[in-house]
Structure 1
Amino acid sequence: MQLEADVEKWIAEIATALAGREQELTADLVGLYERELPNLVNDDESMVSLLSASVYQNLDTALRIFRHHIDPDRVEAPAAAMEYARRLAQRGTPVNDLVRAYYLGQTAILEKAFDEAIRLVSDPADLGVCMRYALTTTCRFVDRVTRQVMVAYEEERGRWMLNRSAVRAARVRAVLDGETVDIGASEAALGYRLRGEHVGLVAWYPAQADPPDPLSGLETLAHRLGRSGADGRGGDPLFVPYDEMCAWIWLPLAASEFDAGTIERIVTTLRDDVRVALGEPARGVEGFRRTHSQALRVQSLALAAGEECAPVLTFSDVGAVALMSSDLPSARTWVRYVLGPLSEDDPQHERLRETLRVFLATGGSYTASAAVLSMHKNSVQYRVRKAEELLAVPLAERRLDVELALKLCHRLGGAVLRRG
């Protein structure tokens, strides 16, 4: 009992000694965060001031716990700490940075407390008991406060995202609907240049997908795609949730920067079932509407095609069919009409279709086709000849139709092929 009383006395004396240095300790911790968590300190003056107030109030609360033997499980997080967490949520600062700040601060203050304890407690055994008590109590306090500020962060993040998304969606819909809007004000509110160059896309998860946080995943994809231009050029995309599994996105990419192949590689590396429909690059407010309309048409076709189509479809690939209709039976009938037996859904005919598609895409060059397909030139010639023999119409008479039909087979797969 005497040792317990002595420990409480020593702890109170240590806390009292540190309480006289709160301003100094606050400055030390802010300096620590500047080195370890610079994004918390390299901010505007009001946020740094709120960070300092949060640190000071947390220190004051912790020291009062030790000076007056308060149960840390009954302590509420300081007002400045709760408000700082809410502000970080509004700015999208990762919550992990906030939590790490608490544990960095805990370690730094315990080191100061240990220095004071060495001065006050001479017996090593008593010193060990004293510091064990300090560590346990501090951990309980930090655990309680971090749980409270994390709840405040998550609640504010949800409210902020909901409000921001609602305002953003309303402004975007007004532009898409052709309403008379102040373009300058809309650009400022959206953080996106409507009068610039765009590539519109629709990104979504199919019904069978079960991502943990769909919209967060789609927004992450949008930012990666925004930097997909040549030499990493591009910028922040405009991201508008459509529902919990789908988003409308505009990438600030010019036609010269747009590379559908790069976008497809980025999407497929995610390996989480995301699907993307792309419009053509366009300029200005009218282009903003047009590229989005094209992406919606391609999405309709992709949804009708189902799981068998490619995860990324572009308007340049399937636009002709998408403009005519998203009626897959009609598209399937047309493909069969153009390709004849070549539209059979089996490995043999797939090889012939792919060879003919690459041959036409390379300008009818057997040599270039062989390089793309990693085949001998004679094998390419043989397959092209066999494919032409199966066409319902001579290639020379319907070359454009054949190219489009082959492209649809390549992108939509079994959705437009004939099965035995």
Structure 2
Amino acid sequence: MPLLTTDTLRCAASSMVPDMDALTGSVALSITAELPELVQDARTEEVFRSTVLDNVVTALRVLSTGRDDEEFEAPPVTLEFARRLAQQGVPITALLRAYRIGQAVFQQRVIARIAAQDVTAEQVAGATMALSSLVFSFIDRVSEQVVAAYVLERDTWMRHRNAMRLARVQALLDGRSCDTEELDTVIGFSSARPMVGVVVWCGRETAEPDRLGRLERHLDRLASCLGTGPRSALSVAPDDSTLWAWIPCRAVDLASVTARMDDAPGGVRATVGDPGAGLDGFRVSHRQARQAQTIALAAGPGHALPLLTSSQLGPLALVSAEVRDLRTWVGSVLGGLAADDENCARMRETVWSYLSSGSSLNTAAAELHLHKNTIQYRIRKAEETRGRPISEGRIDVEVALLACRLLGSTVLRPVPPVPPSHR
């Protein structure tokens, strides 16, 4: 069915055909100046320029005929460009922004051409109204098709890429692969850099078709809070409402990150492990993040924190811990005191008696049949060995010492044997 058009508009559109290259170049330049991420390589730039050209040609044809028929279909190269951006991980918001920029530049050029004709003010007004109506209808229809192509390609691409990456990551986590090159080269994430394991998830009841897209945006925000740029993380999706990720990070400023993540979108939550490096750090920090998720999921609705870190758990980390997780936690709490040797064993027993007695030197001395000065000396040496006062994180210290008393070498760090020549 014909739409609103005028002779003035048709003449303006026809007169612009000989200047097609200049108009296309102007639109393309305006878009890439603001959105350089749309042309990441030579092939993508070629497809982009073909997209701009085909859209300009189609738009001028629409202005000439004013008909709501095949001219409103998105050119095939436009859909190819949308699919390519989906594969490259460029946000769809950037693609839609490109259409708004292109529309503005195109309309300005057409209005200038209308005004340059020998026509009355009434004809200029009528042509401008027709231009706005037709261009809006064209962009609206094409945008719908572009978004549909983008989302379909992104879902297909992400499922394929995620399935391959998830299988490789799972093999590394399970110990079925111990090849650092698998992480560094094949997956493309440097194991040499300190990193934190992260779990980001939302409830399946969250009514949103693109849950994973929402989680990825949340992950980018968290990465920014941790001091790295967007898309710096390695992420895989074990299901449609969860992301496992690793973010390059040397230290977590808990107060700062928590404050900046407090206003996170409702329903999205995250947990963060301790920083670590290498395959051990890759695995341990991930286990810590998942352990924190277990605790977070066990919390009641009134305690559903948007962010929970492994360092906040303290003894709660032991609730569902495996032995290797328990050993890691004991080592992080006791530091050098977690060494499996006689000297550290004496210091641990002294600290245990001292703390159990309410920090009384006399009571601990009586219990261990030692002079209180000896107790005081051992406490001081224990703090030097630990690397910080035993009063710092006292509850954690007591629980870690209890684990040592009950499990012994299972949770202690082995000490290399001393060579005979050094005895």
Instruction: Give the TM-score normalised by the residue count of structure 2.
Output: 0.66
Q: Distance in 1 between matches of 2:16 and 2:182?
A: 52
Give distance in 1, aligned partners of 2:203 and 2:96: 35
Q: How much has 1:175 moved relative to structure 2?
A: 0.6
Q: Which secondary structure state, in structure 2, belongs to the residue aligned with residue 98 of structure 1?
A: helix
Q: 5 Å matches for 1:7-406?
A: 9-40=7-38, 43-68=40-65, 70-72=67-69, 75-180=72-177, 182-205=179-202, 214-229=211-226, 232=227, 236-254=232-250, 257-270=251-264, 272=266, 274-307=268-301, 311=305, 312-318=307-313, 320-323=315-318, 325=320, 394-396=357-359, 403-404=395-396
C-alpha distance after superposition, 1:115-144 (max 9, x if no partner)? 433444433323333333333222222222
Deviation per CA, 1:349-400: give whole Å up to 9, x if none: xxxxxxxxxxxxxxxxxxxxxxxxxxxxxxxxxxxxxxxxxxxx75237998
Q: Report if aligned partners of 2:61, 2:71 keep a CA contact under 8 Å in 1.
A: no
Shift of 1:217: 4.0
Q: Distance in 1 between matches of 2:154 and 2:205?
A: 28
Which residue identity lines up with residue 403 of structure 1 in the other structure?
I
- Output the CA distance in 1 between the equivalents of 2:268 and 2:9: 56
Deviation at 1:192, TM superposition (A): 1.5
Change (3 A) 1:155 1:248: same
Cα deviation, residue 405, structure 1 = 9.9
Deviations 1:86-119 (A, max 9, x none): 2222223333332333333333333333343344
User: How far off is 1:10 after superposition?
Assistant: 4.2
What is the CA–CA distance in structure 1 between the aligned matches of 2:268 and 2:121, rounded to whole Å?
Answer: 61
Distance 1:36 1:280 in 2: 38
Matching residue's letter, 2:184: E
Contact residue 187 and residue 194 of structure 1 kept, 8 A: yes
Aligned residue type for 2:233: P
Q: CA deviation at 1:60?
A: 1.3
Please identify, of 200-209 and 172-181, the stretch whose mean Cα deviation from structure 2 is larger.
200-209
Looking at structure 2, the residues matched to 85 and 185 of structure 1 have their Cα atoms a distance apart, in angstroms, of: 31
Do the aligned residues in 2 keep the contact of 1:202 with 1:249 (CA within 8 Å)?
Answer: yes
Cα gap change, 1:396 to 1:253, in 2 (>3 Å)? same
* Aligned equivalent of 1:357: none
Aligned to 1:339: none
Structure 1: runs of 5+ lacking an equivalent: 327-392, 408-420
Indicate how the Cα distance of structure 1 residues 269 and 143 shifts in structure 2: closer, same or farther if over 3 A, else same.
closer
Q: Kindly provide the amino acid, as one letter, of the partner of residue 243 in structure 2.
A: A
Give the 3 Å change call, closer, same or farther, for CA 147–216 of structure 1 in structure 2: closer
Take 1:293 and 1:233, find their aligned partners in 2: how far apart are those partners? Answer: 22
Which amino acid is the alignment partner of residue 272 of structure 2? L
Preserved CA contact (<8 Å) 2:198 2:289: yes
Distance 1:220 1:189, change over 3 A: farther
**Contact residue 54 and residue 84 of structure 1 kept, 8 A:** yes
| Structure 2 CA distance for partners of 1:406 and 1:261, relative to 1, 3 Å | farther
1:92 & 1:85 partners in 2: Cα distance? 11
Give the distance between the partners of 1:71 and 1:313, measured in 2 at CA. Answer: 54
The unaligned stretches of length 5 or more in structure 2 are 322-355, 365-389, 400-423
Q: Is the 8 A contact 2:270 2:308 kept in 1?
A: yes
Inter-CA distance 156–128: structure 2 relative to 1 (3 Å threshold): same
Deviation of 1:8 (Å):
5.0
Give the aligned residue type for 2:170. Answer: R
Q: Give the superposed CA RMSD.
A: 3.7
- Where 1:270 maps in the other structure, the secondary structure is coil
SS at 1:21's partner residue? helix
* In structure 2, distance between residues paired with 1:310 and 1:16: 62
Structure 1 distance, partners of 2:61, 2:205, is 54
Q: Once the 2 structures are TM-superposed, how far is the Cα of residue 72 of structure 1 from its aligned partner?
A: 4.8
SS at 1:122's partner residue?
coil
The AA in structure 1 aligned to 2:276 is: A
Q: How far does residue 56 in structure 1 lie from its aligned partner after superposition?
A: 0.8
Corresponding position of 1:358: none
Which whole-Å CA distance do the structure 2 matches of 1:211 and 1:133 have between them?
Answer: 37
Report deviation, 1:202. 2.7
Cα distance in 1, alignment partners of residues 100 and 213 from structure 2:
27
SS state of the match for residue 301, structure 1? Answer: helix
Q: TM-score, normalised by structure 1?
A: 0.67
Q: Name the CA distance, whole Å, in 2 between partners of 1:317 and 1:19.
A: 66
